[in-house]
A and B are shown apart, each in its own frame.
Chain A
C-alpha cells in the first residue's frame, strides 16, 4: 500500500513534467495542425540553455524562465522561416512531418557540436524531501508540480478569460472563419508558437532538473510520452494534455513499482491504446472541445 501511494506521488511528479511539454505541443498542434517532431530537440535546446545559465550562477528557476523565452522565439522563427512557407506552398502534411524530424536531428547535432555528447547535469540537488499523504517528493519535484500547476492555470485563464485566448481558440477551430471575423490569424499563430515554445523550453529545463543527468537525446527520448499524453487527452486540447500527462506519468510509475520496471513504458502505452479504443478522440476529444468552445 505504501509503495502504491509513493508511486502515485512519483507519477504526479513525472506527469507534471510530461504535462508541461504535452500542453505546449498540443497548443501548437491545435493552432497549426502540424505534427512538429522538432519539439523534442527544442526541449533539449531549452535544457542546454538552462545549463549554460546555471553554470554562470543563475538560479535554476530564472534559467527556466529565460530558456522558455528563448525557445519561444526560436519556435516562432522556426515556424515563420520553415514550416509556414511549406504550408503555404501546399506541401503535404506527411512531408512536413519529415521536415520537422530532419530539423530536429539537425538541431540535436548542432547542440552536440557546441556542448559535446557527454552527460550533463545542473549539479547535486538539495536532498530536501517533503512527505505528504504518504507520498515522498523531492524539493525540486514539488517546485515543478507547483510550477506546472501555475502555468496550466495561467494558460487556462488566458484561453478562457481573455480576448487573445478567444481569438486563439477561434483560429484553432476554423482559421478562415476567424480571418473573416477580423482576427489577425498570422499574429495569433505567432503568439501560439511563442506560447508553445515557452512551455517547451520550460519543460526542457524541468525535465533536466528531474532527470538530474541528461544529454543531447533528452527531448527525443521524452517526445513519445509527451505525444502520447497529448493524444490521450485529445490532440489539440490543452486540458486533455494536462490530464494525459498525469495519466502517462502515474501509469509508468505504477508499472515500475509493481511490474518489471523494464516494461514501465510498455504498460503506459498499453493503457494509451486501450483508452483510445474506448474513446477514439481521446479523453477530451472533438465533442468535448466543441462544448468548451460554445461555452
Chain B
C-alpha cells in the first residue's frame, strides 16, 4: 500500500531492542568509524567585548592540532580547529552552539566554554555526547553531573582566595575589590571574602562596574576615598585602561598596586593598559595570579615551540604559553586524541570513558608528555600516563583537576615572568 503502519513489537524483539539501546554508545559494542577531517570546536567569544578569549583559545588548538596532524592525525584523520562564536553572551551562545552541533560533521571534541556562557553551553555540548575541556571557572561546576565535562583549571572561588593570599604575602592588608559585572569576575568574590579576613586583611570596598563606560570617575572617587593599599581587579582590557586612566588623573598620578587574574596575561591587556598608564606601572605594579605550571618541563617546551612554529600564534607565544587555561586546553586536546586511539574510535560517546585512563597513574605505564609520544607508546602496546603542560592531571569524581597557583608579572616586551607560587592546599583550606 506504500504506507508503513506501526505494529506492536513482539516481546522478544522489544527485549532485543532495549539491550541494543542500552549498549549503544558504550564500550563493548563495535566502535563506529568516521571518514574525513575531525572538527575540534573552539567554543569561545570571537566577537564582542570578550573576543580576546577567542584568540586565547584558538592558539592552543592550533598548537595541538599542528602537532597531531604532523604526526599523521588521529586514527588517520586530520584535525581542524573550528571556531564557534559564543560572543560571551548566553543569548547568542545557545543558537550558535546548537547550530554548530547540528551542522558540523565529525564534531568530536571541544575546548573553551568559558565562564560567561558555560551555564548554557556545557549542557548543550554534554548532551550531544561531545567530550570537552572547559576553561570556565564557575563554582557551580565544582560538583556537576555532566559525563563529557573536564576542567583542568581552578574554580573562580579558589582563584579569589589565591588573589587574597598573594596580596597579603606582599604586605597589603586593605584591599579594594573592583570587578566587572560578568559571571567570571564575580565568581572570585566568595573566595576573596572567605580568605581575606582569615589572612588578617580586610576588604575596604567592593565595587562591581559595568564594562566600557565613558568614564569611571565616580567609581574611582569611591575607591580613592577607601584608601586601599591594593586593588584586586578583574575586567576587560578596555575597561581596565579607562578606569586606571581616570584613577591616575584623579589621584595626582598615583596608582595603587593591582592583583588580577592570569586571564589578563594577554597582549590586548598589556597594550591597552600600557598605552594609557605607561609600561612602568604595568611591569612593576600588576601581579597576575592563576594556575601554576612548571615552565621547564618537556611538555611545556613542546607546547611553546608549537606556538612559536605556527605563523598565527608565534607573536603571542611568549605571553600565551604562560597562561593556565590555554595550556589546559592544549593538554585536554592531547588527552582526548590519545583517548580516541585507546578506544579505536573518534566518536565521543565511545572514547569518553578512556579519557581518565589516559591520565591515571598505573604501574608500568609509560609517562608521555606529548601526543606523538603517547601515540607511539600505544602503538607499541604499552599503557600510558599523560603528564602535560599543567603537570599530572588529577581529576576528582566531577572531572575537575585544580592544582597549584602562581603569580606573574609582565615584562617590558609584554611577555611574563613567574615571580612566586601559592600552595593549592593553602587555598583550599581558606575556602573550607
Q: Which residues of A contact B (CB under 8 A)?
A: 3, 6-7, 10, 13-14, 17-18, 117-121, 123-125, 127, 129, 136, 138, 207, 210-215, 217, 221-222, 253-254, 256-257, 260-262, 264-265
**Complex: chain B residue closest to A260, CB-CB:** B208
Cross-chain contact B249 with A10 (CB below 8 angstroms): no
Q: Does B237 contact A (CB under 8 A)?
A: yes
Cross-chain contact B241 with A121 (CB below 8 angstroms): yes
Cross-chain contact A217 with B248 (CB below 8 angstroms): no
Candidates B49, B217, B245; contact of A217 at CB < 8 Å? B49
Q: Does B9 contact A (CB under 8 A)?
A: no
| CB-contacts of B206-243 with A (<8 A) | 207-210, 212-219, 221-222, 225, 237-238, 241-242
Q: How far is the CB of B252 from chain A (nearest CB, A)?
A: 8
Q: Does B312 contact A (CB under 8 A)?
A: no
> Would A119 and B219 be within 8 Å (CB), given that A210-B214, A213-B245, A217-B49 are in contact?
no
> Would A119 and B241 be within 8 Å (CB), given that A10-B218, A211-B215 are in contact?
yes
A-B contact count (CB 8 A): 117
Taken together as a complex, chains A and B put the C-alpha atoms of A118 and B238 apart, in Å, by 9
> Looking at B217, B246, B268, which has the most chain A CB atoms within 10 Å of its CB?
B217
In the complex, given contacts A10-B218, A119-B237, A124-B276, what are 7 additional A-B residue pairs having Cβ atoms less than 8 angstroms apart?
Answer: A3-B225, A10-B217, A10-B221, A129-B250, A212-B242, A212-B246, A221-B212
> Would A13 and B207 be within 8 Å (CB), given that A121-B241, A124-B275, A212-B242 are in contact?
no
Q: Does B272 contact A (CB under 8 A)?
A: yes
**Complex: chain A residue closest to B253, CB-CB:** A127
**Complex: chain A residue closest to B271, CB-CB:** A118
| 14 A-B residue pairs with CB within 8 Å | A3-B221, A118-B268, A123-B276, A125-B245, A127-B252, A211-B213, A211-B214, A213-B245, A217-B212, A222-B214, A261-B208, A261-B209, A261-B216, A264-B213
> Looking at B48, B208, B219, B252, which has the most chain A CB atoms within 10 Å of its CB?
B219
Taken together as a complex, chains A and B put the C-alpha atoms of A214 and B246 apart, in Å, by 14
| CB-contacts of B20-68 with A (<8 A) | 48-49, 51
- In the complex, chain B residues whose CB is within 8 Å of the CB of A254: 218
Interface size for B (C-beta < 8 A) is 38
Taken together as a complex, chains A and B put the C-alpha atoms of A56 and B240 apart, in Å, by 26
> Looking at B209, B213, B222, which has the most chain A CB atoms within 10 Å of its CB?
B213
| CB-contacts of B237-293 with A (<8 A) | 237-238, 241-242, 245-246, 248-250, 252-253, 267-268, 271-272, 275-278
Q: Does B417 contact A (CB under 8 A)?
A: no
Candidates A119, A121, A124, A262; contact of B208 at CB < 8 Å? A262
Taken together as a complex, chains A and B put the C-alpha atoms of A254 and B276 apart, in Å, by 25
- In the complex, chain A residues whose CB is within 8 Å of the CB of B222: 3, 257
Q: How far is the CB of B327 from chain A (nearest CB, A)?
A: 23
Q: How far is the CB of B141 from chain A (nearest CB, A)?
A: 24
| CB-contacts of B175-223 with A (<8 A) | 181, 207-210, 212-219, 221-222
**Complex: chain B residue closest to A206, CB-CB:** B214
**Complex: chain A residue closest to B207, CB-CB:** A261
**Complex: chain B residue closest to A121, CB-CB:** B275
> Would A117 and B51 be within 8 Å (CB), given that A213-B242, A214-B238 are in contact?
yes
- In the complex, chain A residues whose CB is within 8 Å of the CB of B210: 261-262, 264-265
Taken together as a complex, chains A and B put the C-alpha atoms of A121 and B278 apart, in Å, by 12
**Complex: chain B residue closest to A263, CB-CB:** B210
Taken together as a complex, chains A and B put the C-alpha atoms of A48 and B209 apart, in Å, by 26
Cross-chain contact B271 with A10 (CB below 8 angstroms): no
Cross-chain contact A213 with B241 (CB below 8 angstroms): yes
> Looking at B49, B216, B238, B267, which has the most chain A CB atoms within 10 Å of its CB?
B238
Candidates B215, B221, B250, B253; contact of A210 at CB < 8 Å? B215
Cross-chain contact B209 with A262 (CB below 8 angstroms): yes
- In the complex, chain B residues whose CB is within 8 Å of the CB of A212: 241-242, 245-246, 276
Cross-chain contact A213 with B253 (CB below 8 angstroms): no
- In the complex, chain A residues whose CB is within 8 Å of the CB of B238: 119, 211, 213-215
Taken together as a complex, chains A and B put the C-alpha atoms of A254 and B250 apart, in Å, by 17
Candidates A7, A213, A256, A262; contact of B237 at CB < 8 Å? A213
- In the complex, chain B residues whose CB is within 8 Å of the CB of A213: 237-238, 241-242, 245, 272, 275-276
> Would A253 and B249 be within 8 Å (CB), given that A212-B241, A261-B208 are in contact?
no
**Complex: chain B residue closest to A254, CB-CB:** B218
Q: How far is the CB of B273 from chain A (nearest CB, A)?
A: 8
Q: How far is the CB of B277 from chain A (nearest CB, A)?
A: 7
Q: How far is the CB of A224 from chain B (nearest CB, A)?
A: 12
Cross-chain contact B249 with A127 (CB below 8 angstroms): yes
Cross-chain contact A119 with B218 (CB below 8 angstroms): no
Cross-chain contact B214 with A136 (CB below 8 angstroms): no
**Complex: chain A residue closest to B212, CB-CB:** A221
> Looking at A13, A117, A254, A262, which has the most chain B CB atoms within 10 Å of its CB?
A262
Candidates A14, A118, A125; contact of B215 at CB < 8 Å? A14
Q: How far is the CB of A233 from chain B (nearest CB, A)?
A: 18
Taken together as a complex, chains A and B put the C-alpha atoms of A17 and B213 apart, in Å, by 12
Candidates B214, B268, B272; contact of A14 at CB < 8 Å? B214
Cross-chain contact A123 with B209 (CB below 8 angstroms): no
- In the complex, chain A residues whose CB is within 8 Å of the CB of B275: 119-121, 123-124, 213
- Closest CB pairs A-B (n = 10): A213-B241, A119-B272, A256-B218, A212-B245, A10-B217, A257-B218, A121-B275, A262-B181, A262-B208, A119-B238
> Looking at B214, B225, B248, B275, which has the most chain A CB atoms within 10 Å of its CB?
B214
Taken together as a complex, chains A and B put the C-alpha atoms of A127 and B248 apart, in Å, by 7
Taken together as a complex, chains A and B put the C-alpha atoms of A6 and B215 apart, in Å, by 13
Taken together as a complex, chains A and B put the C-alpha atoms of A257 and B51 apart, in Å, by 29
- In the complex, chain A residues whose CB is within 8 Å of the CB of B253: 127
Q: How far is the CB of B103 from chain A (nearest CB, A)?
A: 23
> Looking at B208, B271, B276, which has the most chain A CB atoms within 10 Å of its CB?
B276
Taken together as a complex, chains A and B put the C-alpha atoms of A12 and B216 apart, in Å, by 13
